Amino acid sequence: MAADMRFHLHNFLHPTSHSDSNTAAGRARSDQLRRLITEGTPTPRIAILGAGAAGICMALQLLEHGISSFTIYEKGERVGGTWRDNTYPGAACDVPSHLYSFSFAPKVDWSRKFPEQPEILGYLESLVSKYNLGNHIVFSAEVTEAVWNEERSLWALELSSGATHEAEVVVSGLGQLNRPNIPQIAGLDTFTGTKFHSAQWDHSHDLHGERVAVIGIGASAIQFVPQVAKLAAEITLFQRSVNYVAPKPDRPFTRLQISALKNVPGLRQAYRSSIYWRLEFRFRLMKKGSRLGAMMQRKFGEEVSKMASPNLPTEALVPQYTPGCRRILIANDWYPTLLRPQTRVVTEGVSRITSTGIITESGEEIPVDTIIFGTGFHATDFLAPLQITGRDGQDLNHAWKEGARAFLGLAVSGFPNFFILYGPNTNLGHNSILFMIEQQVGYIREIIDGFVTKGVTSAEVRERSMENFDAEISAALTKTVWNEDCSSWYKNSQGRVTNNWPDYTVAYKQRLAHPDQRDWKTNTASQVLDLE
Ligand code: NAP
């Protein structure tokens, strides 16, 4: 009982760390691992795909536990993943800054309550230099194919350059939002003005005095549109779906606050925990039929419809779906931007694009100089276009043709020694994704430990465990607002919610505290350990 209470207290005070960290048992396991490695026990070669937040987290936790036999393959020329790519004006995170760092490597001096892209990228880069990760990263190295070799218990990797590598373990840190979606609109190629996607911002292009069109209004657009509107002569927003946009309680920290959060013992941890729990309770909104959601919908509608005018119709302001079905956005400058005389909101779709403008579905031609796509990412395709061939020639993209699914979001039966960070059904609508990544990394690392401590050569999730998990997730998803009637990147074309975790993150943390041997089929060099 006392031990149990300690567990709960630890988790309450340190809600964001993985359960195995800072515990006596975890330290003992780590010490044993280090001792074996020092005595010469070989460690597996680990290929980490992507040097974004997930890949960096995996690498740091391996190093922390004495494993350095890993390589990070990064297709770009810089680390940072989504925070390297998304440099659009106004790019920021809607998770408060003191929660947006790893519990084991916190940033103690955030400059404001909600972090902006340069500061987050700086944080990730600082981790790479502080822990000398640079020696482990190969840049301009996109892994295009991974093929499992059953006989040798390893993955053969091929890079876009044609180079080949081998690794016993592969960990994907590719994430869900790495491939920009530019819709195939008729005539797009004929447009003679400038066009670019929000994740590929053309900083060399001056938008001053231009007629700008933005196609697609989601989390990215509500951040860059207010900035673009300050420069453009006219801005036309093609907003097919309306968002709930709530106030953003953002401001810079004062020097005193920064100093206190950095220096007063326990203060930063208490602040971080309070942010976590505050966000965590918002999961209530994601549950179908929540009274809080109904109240928010009513109040939001009443407030926002007051802004309606002939130029800004109610349908451009008030969503008709339950809050949370699409991501709830936060900004203070969104509605003031909509009210500017230079802003026009078009709620109908785009019919086609000409050399000089955009033709709406009702046939109106709107001349524009620049088109910016705020049309999001190929979020439900997950690891594609990477070709992954597992045991018995199974193709992962084929296995996922009706929607990606994975045990705990991180492993797929038939694909031994292959782990996914921020995989299917691990995205959130209410809390920090770094939290989820940290739990996954702790769990995967414990499996990798077994390669050293138990001589494991391959670990594969059992099909039955995967099916049970899938059934559980599918049932839980029916109780969330995400499968209600709205369009969102959480669903694939068949309407399956492939991206989101349908529970509190505390529940996810508990599930990922330690791998349960009953879920895993493990081979060692000489035998198959069937622990069922
Ligand atoms: P998004 O939320 O998926 O929004 C894309 C928008 O483009 C949607 O409103 C969609 O409308 C529209 N669209 C797509 N194809 C279209 C077409 N052919 N014609 C007209 N409209 C079209 O993408 P995002 O804004 O880039 O954000 C993606 C995710 O990135 C976010 O949800 C969030 O997780 C992350 N993000 C996070 C932050 C943060 O602060 N943490 C900031 C930015 C982004 P329909 O819905 O009608 O299809």
Task: Compute the distance from residue 377 Cα to the ligand 1 centre, in Å.
Answer: 7
Q: Is the pLDDT of residue 531 over 50?
A: no
Q: Is the pLDDT of residue 37 over 70?
A: yes
**Does residue 231 lie within any of the structural domains?**
no
Q: Is the pLDDT of residue 176 over 50?
A: yes
From the alpha carbon of 373, which atom of ligand 1 is closest? 7
**Angstrom distance (rounded) from CA 167 to CA 152:** 10
Distances (CA, A) of 102 to 14, 91, 155, 432: 12, 20, 29, 10
Query: Residue 2: what pLDDT?
Result: 43
Residue nearest to atom 10 of ligand 1 (CA): 216
Q: Is the pLDDT of residue 399 over 50?
A: yes
Characterise 296 by phi-psi region: left (phi > 0), alpha (psi -120 to 50), beta (else). alpha
Q: How confident is the model at residue 532 (pLDDT cuts 50, 70, 90)?
A: very low
Q: How confident is the model at residue 24 (pLDDT cuts 50, 70, 90)?
A: confident
Distances (CA, A) of 148 to 42, 75, 155, 158, 190: 21, 21, 5, 12, 44
pLDDT tens per residue across span 410-427: 999 999 999 999 999 999
**Angstrom distance (rounded) from CA 253 to CA 264:** 15
pLDDT tens per residue across span 330-365: 999 999 999 999 999 999 999 999 999 999 999 999
Q: Is the pLDDT of residue 86 over 80?
A: yes
Q: Is the pLDDT of residue 3 over 50?
A: no
DSSP 312-341: B-GGGT--SS-TTSSPPEE-SSHHHHHTST
Q: Is the pLDDT of residue 1 over 60?
A: no
Query: Residue 361: what pLDDT?
Result: 96
pLDDT tens per residue across span 95-139: 999 999 999 999 999 999 999 999 999 999 999 999 999 999 999
Task: Compute the distance from residue 151 Cα to the ligand 1 centre, in Å.
Answer: 44
**Does residue 195 lie within any of the structural domains?**
no
Pocket test for ligand 1, best of 117, 178, 181, 220 (most atoms within 8 A of CB): 220
Average pLDDT over residues 158-186: 96
Average pLDDT over residues 447-460: 97
Query: Residue 269: what pLDDT?
Result: 95
Q: Find the range with the poorest average confidence among 156-160, 199-203, 346-350, 492-496.
A: 492-496
Q: What's the domain count of the chain?
A: 1
**Does residue 419 lie within any of the structural domains?**
yes
Average pLDDT over residues 434-453: 97
- For tokens 């969330």, the residue is 480
Task: Compute the distance from residue 86 Cα to the ligand 1 centre, in Å.
Answer: 13
What percentage of the chain reaches a pLDDT higher than 90?
90
**Does residue 322 lie within any of the structural domains?**
no
Q: How confident is the model at residue 72 (pLDDT cuts 50, 70, 90)?
A: very high
What percentage of the chain reaches a pLDDT higher than 70?
96
**Does residue 476 lie within any of the structural domains?**
yes
Query: Residue 324: what pLDDT?
Result: 97
Residue nearest to atom 27 of ligand 1 (CA): 219
Residue nearest to atom 18 of ligand 1 (CA): 183
Task: Compute the distance from residue 4 Cα to the ligand 1 centre, in Å.
Answer: 43
**Does residue 267 lie within any of the structural domains?**
no
Query: Residue 303: what pLDDT?
Result: 97
Query: Residue 380: what pLDDT?
Result: 87
Query: Residue 20: what pLDDT?
Result: 79
Pocket test for ligand 1, best of 112, 489, 493 (most atoms within 8 A of CB): 489
| Cβ within 8 Å of residue 136, ≥6 positions away | 59, 68, 70, 71, 72
DSSP E strand stretches across 5-150: 46-49, 70-73, 137-138, 143-149
Q: Is the pLDDT of residue 488 over 60?
A: yes
pLDDT tens per residue across span 183-211: 999 999 999 999 999 999 999 999 999 99
Residue ranges making up the domain that contains 456? 2-88+127-179+379-530
Residue nearest to atom 24 of ligand 1 (CA): 376
Average pLDDT over residues 278-299: 96
Task: Compute the distance from residue 430 Cα to the ligand 1 centre, in Å.
Answer: 17
From the alpha carbon of 330, which atom of ligand 1 is closest? 40
Pocket test for ligand 1, best of 87, 240, 482 (most atoms within 8 A of CB): 240
Average pLDDT over residues 85-94: 98
Task: Compute the distance from residue 217 Cα to the ligand 1 centre, in Å.
Answer: 6
**Does residue 470 lie within any of the structural domains?**
yes
Length of the chain: 532
| Cβ within 8 Å of residue 224, ≥6 positions away | 88, 89, 90, 91, 198, 201, 214, 372, 374
Q: Please provide the average confidence, as pLDDT, over all residues in the chain.
A: 94
- Token pair listed for 80: 């940072």
Q: Is the pLDDT of residue 266 over 90?
A: yes
Task: Compute the distance from residue 93 Cα to the ligand 1 centre, in Å.
Answer: 14
Q: What does the DSSP 8-state code read for residue 149?
A: E
Radius of gyration of the chain (CA): 24
From the alpha carbon of 177, which atom of ligand 1 is closest? 30
Residue nearest to atom 48 of ligand 1 (CA): 487
Q: Is the pLDDT of residue 64 over 60?
A: yes
**Does residue 114 lie within any of the structural domains?**
no
Q: Using a 6 Å CB cutoff, which residues line ligand 1? A: 92-94, 177, 183, 198, 215-221, 223, 238, 240-241, 327, 349-350, 374-377, 487, 489
Which ranges in 109-153 belong to alpha helices (H)?
117-130
Query: Residue 7: what pLDDT?
Result: 52
Q: Is the pLDDT of residue 516 over 50?
A: yes
Q: Is the pLDDT of residue 13 over 80?
A: no
The domain that holds 418 is classified in CATH as 3.50.50.60
pLDDT tens per residue across span 289-327: 999 999 999 999 999 999 999 999 999 999 999 999 999
